[in-house]
Structure 1
Amino acid sequence: MGLWTEYKTKDGRSYYYNKHTKESVWEKPSDFVPAVVETASKQEAQWEERLDKKSARLYYYDRVSKTSQWIKPEGVHITSYVNKDRDDTKTAEATKQTTDASTEKPVSTSEETKVETKNDSSPKDAKEDAEEDVADESSKSKKRKKRGTSTKSKQKKTKTTKKSSLIIRDTEEESQEQKEPTDEATQILSVLGKTDSIMELDILSTINAFLRTHTDADGPEMLVKQLSRSYRGHAQMCRLVGSWLDAVPHPENKALAKEDNYWLDADELVFNTLKATIIDRYDPKMLSNVLSDSVVEPVWLKSMLQDSKWRLMLIELAEKHKNCSLLQYAIRRISEAGHHKEIASITNANNVFPVFTAIVADILTRIPFAGVDEVREDYQALEKICTHAAYSYIFTQNVFLEMDAALAAATLDTLPIRSKLERLRQHLHLSVLKKYGSEKIDSLHVLKRASIAKVYPTLSEAIGLILKDHQCSSTASEMLKTAYSSPQPPPVGHIRERIILESLTTALFHPYEAIEGSAHRSACVYLLAYAAAAHDDRPLLDISARDVDVNSEQMQAIARALEDASVICKSDTTLSYNMNEAEAVEKLIRGMEFPVVSMGILHWLQLLMESVQFYNGPFFHAAFPVFLTILRHAILLHQAQWPTVFQVLVIALRLNPDANPVKVLEMKKETLRCMVHLMTCGYVFPVLHFMSTNTDEFDQALLRNFVQLVFARIAPPYSNRFTLAWCTLLLHPKVVQALRTCPAETKAKLKEFSHAVQSRKDVPVDLRDEIRDCYEDKEG
């Protein structure tokens, strides 16, 4: 057995005492043998709850290990001797009043010395006092009996009555009242022992709670020791490191600092670290009472709301913690400050209706006058929040319709703005329809409104059939023809909706679905020709009766061209090996001068490209050059149909038919050639965006061919937007790998483009460096 013994201090720290040398150390000696622990492990601990006579505090003594501590052990049985200790104290005090002064003085002095030692010393002394208390219990009871026989019987009865009164009325209540605050104080003290607890927001209330529950005189001392022991100063360390980084001299040339790749702004470094920590460890429960506990808005929150970086972090947190009241308040404040675009991407932005309405109003204010990229970004945000809940979708649809009605009544020429807003409304309807299905969305259609369905019941019923069946049947087309051939037809905008137009076009031009009859074809042709020739600018909500101006001759010409094209596209003999020599192709090209006929033919091409029966069939490679000729003709005639042409080309580029790989590769190269032709006509950035975002789908030979085709048609000076988009594509790893084996002519053009990029100051430095490293310095 070793000479060292382990003891515990008041706060639970271990120290070691050598009985021979009388030496005490904090660190565990090398020759320490835990004999007491081994003994305790063999026998179950027997804990006793006792009362310190001096401080009236509870402490806990284990008879097996002969150890005592202030903290109550958890999960063990404890025998309470508190009432007995109190009774002994009361009896001792009463006995002292009846004994001589000579006897009383040494007893009092010894008792005070013993209690003082136990209260002020370590738990080792408390353990020794506990052993003495246990050893002297029997002798004390004998002395009390002896002293009791020498007093008068009246005094004995009085003392007995007083003792009984204390036990019945006060002792148990005192024990319970003393026990509960002590447990609560211990828990609060453990909370104060957490790292940097003094930096917590509610530290003052925690300190007051501890002082209220811990009524001993040593409470402030324990509080100071616990807070000082747990303090590490992490926040102050971060501030100190930040000040060191600020003291580092900045490079005089900011461009040089970025170019050297070693400089990182101190504020940005600290912000990124704090942001990552906050997002990872954010707990809404800890900040649930920040707003309720303060009369005014916290200063730190106000500062965060004034900085764009912190606002974006709050928005990111709000997306992750959707039920946090503090973050919901922050989102509302950001919206009130006018930063609607920053919070438009949050799916739960519509949880607060004023925030949602402000976002919708802000987006609809920008969209009519924004460019393509801005409209795409705003529409994606609008679609995200509107498809989140039914009421948000209904509200947005109604805003679109009311804006269309207001713009229709304006004196200015607002038709372009109305067309753009109507197109966005229909796109939003299609996205919701695709996400939730027609069963839930059809009832929200504008024609299902009672005010409109009452005036146009036939129209409402026909549109309902089309939406329900996902096709334009003969019955539905006949009902629509009846509605629009009346003297006062409904607004033509109802059949100009994308869903209705696609249903009518599919009925006429689908290559593998037979039309129900001549009446069905005649009705569909009439409706498409009427939609193309009618001059009717009434909004969809208009129910007033009014004559519509229709050019009869133009309508008849369009109807003839539609019928001829429908017959050709549905014929089984159109697709053949010598299709390029057939007269049917010439008829189709002649009919494409009418936009509605051109759209029908493009729809026919798209359905063919999507059909496995066609692209794995025998006529695919013979018909494909004819299709490219038709697409080029559509590009030449109708600029508004460029997106549809591009969609058909994308489908063709992604085909993988069961054919000779060499023929398939040649077919895709011709598709890329037609796509570059579309770029030269003006449809540049959608093509570049598609190629940049889908680069991994294509073979290196196709990527190399695309770059060569583009370089053959471009020349400086280049716009900044084109330079950035083209550099993004050229710097893709797969493109860089593909261009390593390109011809010398293409490498020369790559170097020329790199020189042109180096001379532009509006291009970021890192982008210029990457282009130079990839293409300008490479030989052969």
Structure 2
Amino acid sequence: MSEAETGDVDVAAEEGSQQPFDWSAFKDDEGRLYFYNNVTGESSWEAPEEGFNPPPPDNDLDDVGEEVEELTTDKTGAVSTNEEPDDMTDQQIDLSTTPAEESAEPSATTEQEAEEDPPMAGDWVEYKDDEGRAYYFNTVSQETTWDRPSEFDAIENDGKTKQETRDDDAVDLSPDRPQSPSMGEMAPESPTEDVPPMNNIVEEHVEAQEIDPSVKRLEDAKLALSQPDAIMEHGVMTHLTEVVTSDGGNPQHAIQALTESARGQTAVCGLLSRWLADLKTETGMTSISATAVANPAEQKKRFLKAADSIREMTQEEINNITRERFTTERGRQILDLSKSEAAFLDDMMDSNRWRKLLIDLSAANKNSALLMYCLKEISKRGHHREIARRINQNDHFSVFSAMLASELAVIGKISISACRDNDTSISLNELVKDLRRTCTSTAYTYMYAMEVLSFLIRKAKEDASEMSQKDRLLYARVIRKWERLLEVLQGTMIDPASADGETPLFRKRRLDVALTISDLQQRQRRRLYPRDIRDIQEEGFIVNEDTVAENHMSAERRADIETAVLNFLRRYCLGTQLDDQLLDKMLPISVGGDPENFVGNLLTQYPTSIEALLGYIYKPGNQRVRSVVTRNKCARLAAMAVLAAEKKAVEEARKIDPNVPESDFDEVALTRMLSEGSQLCEQLENMVSFIVTVNPDRRKSLSSLNPGEQLCALALKCAAVSRGVALWASGVTKGSEFVISAYYPTISPNIMSLIRIVYLHYPFNRDDTCDIAFEFLKHSNSEIAYKTMNQIKEQSLRLLLFLCVRGEAPTVLGRMSNLVNETSRSYLDASLVRYFISGLLEVASPPFSIPFIRSFIVLLKAPACIDAIKTNYFGEESKKRLEGILKYLNTRANGKLDKHPLATEDVSLIESLLSIYG
């Protein structure tokens, strides 16, 4: 190139005119000259044959020295490199890597590693991480691996590594060397076109150079994905799309970049991807044993077990992070998304796992419009059970109303069905418990639930009157269930035990709500004097001119009794003592002075009042009535209520069987039995032990028996006494002084035997019996020998197994699961857990109901049960029984035993259990 031509090029470069060649020369930080193609993005150490543009002015041509002067071009742009450079002694030319190779290093490579001299073998390059471990990068496939490629082994076998080759071929630029190789000889292998240019090395030299926008976008995307926690940054999807597109749709490098950049909470994503990769490897055909290959079922079990563990752990971690980080503002941003972008919400609401998270979030973030929308949509999908089980949705009336209607319908189905379908295959106790909590959470939910129940009961009675005898009996069962639920809700609002730990003001508010909407209060508000004849007729009076005045006086008396009952319930709820004056207002003037038994019928409408009367004479503590006279008055009122209830029961029974006999008891006999039972309970509290028997000697008089036998006989003879005994036993075992008393080891077995006998004859005491058994499991006294405490707990476990046999298995197993899962303290050691599970396997045999299957699986999946069962101490007979049940459950999950298929959730439960114990 002539001086004139060179000058023209320099002037053109200085003036920023268009350059004639695609290739341009630049210098790196170490002063080495390299060439970059503006069109293809290719970089090279070798000078292009078609010619190149000289370095820009900011590349400092003076510093290039004679190296550029020796590179001459002819008129066609060809480069001549035949002449040796005069002065290259100050340059250290590193031929170990090409610019393309340096820019293609994995994202985990540090600057220090980029400056090192990595060995090469074929397309592979070896690097070191921060801890000095070697990893390998393929410059063609962009693959990164810890495993040493076979190309390195081949080089070692030849006796010459890549590093040795570079040492042998190193260029000596000392003055004594006669001749330096040409630029063509120094050029490394041609870099691939997909490798980015050397912008990271000579970025300051190419600012003035025009760069391909697609190359720039790719570089920016890779840089963004390499930042810490890049997955949390805005626009990450755009960067991911750019990288994946550049790799021809292969997401490997994008995933690797996100995984390696995770530094904070999002490190879970990297862990999860590695776990899943390990799972795939462990269950692959190349890494499993010959036994597993021959047994695909074993392979599947191993995979399911590992997958369930990882899924549950990851799910819990994600849920915790979501609960901590969710805000109302972030929820609003999701609502602003388009329908397609927010489609993930529908997937979450359709998933059992994610629905629980959304419901829990809605309980903690009641002002979130997003979660309100999700809750309504979940309700529309029919998942009312999940809503009722987890939260009190009193802030969303439409959700509460739909849930209440659904649950009441389920109660009706349970009353008349065989519990075959998935809707009714639930524990009725659990259903009522959830309804009781939800419906009594606020005043308006309670009032609405009571109105709905009252309307359903009235409507059902009207419809039943026009039905056949068979259908009327079915309707009667449904009506009884709804009436019982109404009583439970009312009792929850009045009973002080339901508000245990709350302030007196809170209890008073609940009481005011319950009594204000009750008929006791509303009838008095509607009452006008003189009363309307229709009101008198509705209450059963004979209306004529001669009896109107007499009936009017009776109405006033009834108003006084209702007011007295209201005041009685207020005192009971607030925990105040009774007095004779209040009881006298409720009692008739003389025995048999109320042939209608108005007060007895009134008390049966409010079962809590009967519980209160029995509690005042049976429950130990400060609330127990001490005066014998006052105690007898309470016993008389309770006897009148019992007689009214028995009369009504006989009338209902005679609709089915006209030969049902009348009750053998009268008011005086029942009053005496209730008083004697109360005195016997108080006497047993001061005894070290007592004897109980199911069949006392009938030849002996009651007075000749010991106190325990007398109480047993009274309890078996009278249902009201048995209820009082259950209240007494429950109160004694819950007392804080009982477990540290000197007679605790000797009297505890007697109490459990007594309560078992009572339950055997009167199953309506099931709740108290279950409570007492679990109360003994929670007792702890370091002063008592370990063996003695274990024997007491073993007897309580036998009492629970007895309840399971009597049909209370879902309730017992559900409460046992909660007990063994309490992480704050351990009530049962492994030996007691094995004792209970072994006993359960001994008494349980297929076929099983769906509620039993669910509660049984949940219990066996508890960590404490897994640890207790998977030991050598678990008996061989118990293991065989467990295997038999597992085979039954497996067959049941496959739908081969029952034409009614299990729900998807139940099948998943069974599969998860089989993966643990299979």
TM-score with structure 1 setting the length: 0.58
* Structure 1 residues 2-21: aligned runs within 5 Å: 17=58
Taking the aligned partners of 1:304 and 1:766, their CA distance within structure 2 comes to 26
Q: Take 1:380 and 1:765, find their aligned partners in 2: how far apart are those partners?
A: 29
Q: Which structure has the higher relative contact order (CA within 8 Å, separation 6+)?
A: 2
Q: Which amino acid aligns with 1:607?
A: G
For the aligned residue pairs, the C-alpha RMSD in angstroms reads: 5.3
Pairwise CA distance, 1:599: 0.8
Secondary structure in 2 aligned to 1:626? helix
Is 2:301 the partner of 1:259? yes
Following the alignment from structure 1 to structure 2, what is the Cα–Cα distance between the partners of residues 506 and 361?
34
Match of 1:664 in 2: 789
Instruction: Write out aligned runs for 1:256-295 (5 A).
Output: 258-261=300-303, 284-285=328-329, 288=332
Kept in 2, the 8 Å contact 1:530–1:550? The answer is no
How far apart are residue 748 of structure 1 and its match?
Answer: 2.9
Amino acid at match of 2:753: T
- For 1:272 and 1:705, the matched residues in 2 are separated by 33
| Distance in 2, Cα, partners of 1:416 & 1:686 | 21
1:360 correspondence with 2:424: no
Q: Which SS does the other structure have where 1:261 is aligned? A: helix
**Counterpart-to-counterpart distance in 1, 2:690 and 2:389:** 53
One-letter amino acid matched to 1:440: R
Matches within 5 A, 1:328-727: 328-336=372-380, 338-344=382-388, 347=391, 349-370=393-414, 373-379=426-432, 381-383=434-436, 385-386=438-439, 388-407=441-460, 410-411=464-465, 412=472, 413=476, 414-426=478-490, 428-429=492-493, 433-434=499-500, 437-447=506-516, 450-454=521-525, 455=559, 456-470=562-576, 472-482=578-588, 489=598, 492=601, 494=603, 497=606, 499-511=608-620, 515-535=625-645, 553-571=665-683, 575-576=687-688, 583-592=706-715, 593-657=717-781, 658-695=783-820, 696-715=826-845, 722=852, 725-726=855-856
Identity of aligned residues (%): 17
Residue type of the partner of 1:331?
Answer: L
Call closer, same or farther: CA 1:421–1:451 in 2, change over 3 Å.
same
| Contact 1:512–1:570 (Cα < 8 Å) also in 2 | no
Once the 2 structures are TM-superposed, how far is the Cα of residue 444 of structure 1 from its aligned partner? 0.6
Kindly provide the amino acid, as one letter, of the partner of residue 794 in structure 2.
K
- SS of aligned partner of 1:644: helix
- Structure-2 separation of matches of 1:640 and 1:730: 29
Shift of 1:319: 4.0
Deviations 1:47-98 (A, max 9, x none): xxxxxxxxxxxxxxxxxxxxxxxxxxxxxxxxxxxxxxxxxxxxxxxxxxxx
Whole-Å Cα distance in 1 between the matches of residues 742 and 756 of structure 2?
24
Provide the rounded CA distance (Å) in 2 between the counterparts of 1:508 and 1:471. 12
Confirm or deny: 8 A CA contact 2:439 2:445 kept in the other structure. Answer: yes
5+ residue gaps in structure 1?
5-14, 31-121, 126-192, 196-225, 539-548, 773-780
AA paired with 1:666?
A: Q
Amino acid at match of 1:308: D
Contact 2:689 2:750 in 1 (8 A): no
Measure how far apart 1:508 and its partner are: 1.3
CA contact (8 A) 1:704 1:739 kept: yes
Query: Is the 8 Å Cα contact of residues 284 and 324 (structure 1) preserved in structure 2?
Result: yes
Q: Which letter maps to 1:649?
A: A
The number of residues matched between the two structures is 555
TM-score under structure 2 normalisation? Answer: 0.50
**Counterpart amino acid of 1:528?**
A
Given that 1:511 and 1:608 are in contact with CA atoms closer than 8 Å, whether structure 2 keeps it comes out as: yes
Closer, same or farther: CA 329–20 of 1 in aligned 2, 3 Å: same
Secondary structure of the structure 1 residue equivalent to 2:891: coil
Q: Are the aligned partners of 1:606 and 1:648 in contact in 2 as well (CA < 8 Å)?
A: yes
- Provide the C-alpha distance between the structure 1 equivalents of 2:300 and 2:57, rounded to a whole number of angstroms: 58
1:528 and 1:227, CA in 2 relative to 1: closer, same or farther beyond 3 A? closer
CA distance in 2, matches of 1:573, 1:363: 43
Aligned partners of 1:465 and 1:476 also within 8 Å: no
The amino acid across from 1:689 in the alignment is G
Q: How far does residue 524 in structure 1 lie from its aligned partner after superposition? A: 0.8
Contact 1:609 1:652 (C-alpha < 8 Å) held by counterparts: yes
Is 1:298 the counterpart of 2:421 in the alignment?
A: no
Partner of 2:214: none
Offset, 1:443: 1.1
What are the residue-to-residue correspondences of 1:127-166 with 2, within 5 Å?
none
Once the two structures are TM-superposed, the CA of residue 530 in structure 1 deviates from its matched residue by 1.7
Structure 1 distance, partners of 2:597, 2:827, is 53
Structure 1 residues 551 and 476, CA, compared in 2 at 3 Å: closer, same or farther? Answer: farther
Matched residues in 1 for 2:873 and 2:358: separation?
A: 52
Change (3 A) 1:474 1:664: farther
- 2:40 corresponds in structure 1 to none
Question: 1:507 Cα deviation (Å)?
Answer: 1.8
Distance 1:315 1:479, change over 3 A: same
Judge conservation of contact 1:508–1:521 (CA < 8 Å) in 2. yes
Distance 2:810 2:665 in 1: 39
Which deviates further from its counterpart, 732-741 or 508-517? 732-741
Q: C-alpha distance in 1, partners of 2:735/2:685? A: 17
CA contact 1:347–1:388 (8 Å) conserved in 2 = no
Distance 1:367 1:700, change over 3 A: same
Q: Give the Å deviation of 1:615.
A: 4.1
Partner of 1:83: none
Task: Measure, in 2, the Cα distance between the counterparts of 1:379 and 1:489.
Answer: 30
Answer yes or no: is the 8 Å Cα contact 1:470–1:503 preserved in 2. Answer: no
Q: Aligned in 2, Cα 1:620/1:275: closer, same or farther, shift over 3 Å?
A: closer
C-alpha distance 616-485 of structure 1, shift in aligned 2 (>3 A): farther
Q: Which residue of 2 aligns with 1:322?
A: 366
Distance in 1, Cα, partners of 2:486 & 2:237: 67
Map of 1:93 onto structure 2:
none
Determine if contact 2:359/2:375 at 8 Å carries over to the other structure: yes
Are residues 236 and 709 of structure 1, via their aligned partners in 2, closer, same or farther at CA, if it must alter by over 3 Å? Answer: same
Matches within 5 A, 1:109-124: none
Question: Which runs of 5 or more structure 2 residues have no equivalent in the other structure?
Answer: 1-27, 30-55, 65-98, 104-110, 113-204, 209-222, 226-233, 256-272, 274-279, 286-292, 415-423, 466-471, 526-558, 650-660, 693-703, 821-825, 894-909
Q: Please say if residues 471 and 503 of structure 1, whose CA atoms lie closer than 8 Å, have aligned partners that are also in contact.
A: no
Closer, same or farther in 2 for the Cα pair 1:698/1:348, shift >3 Å?
closer
Amino acid at match of 1:418: W
Q: In 2, Cα distance between the equivalents of 1:235 and 1:312?
A: 36
Give the C-alpha shift of residue 687 in structure 1. Answer: 2.6
Find 1:751's aligned residue among 870, 880, 883: 880
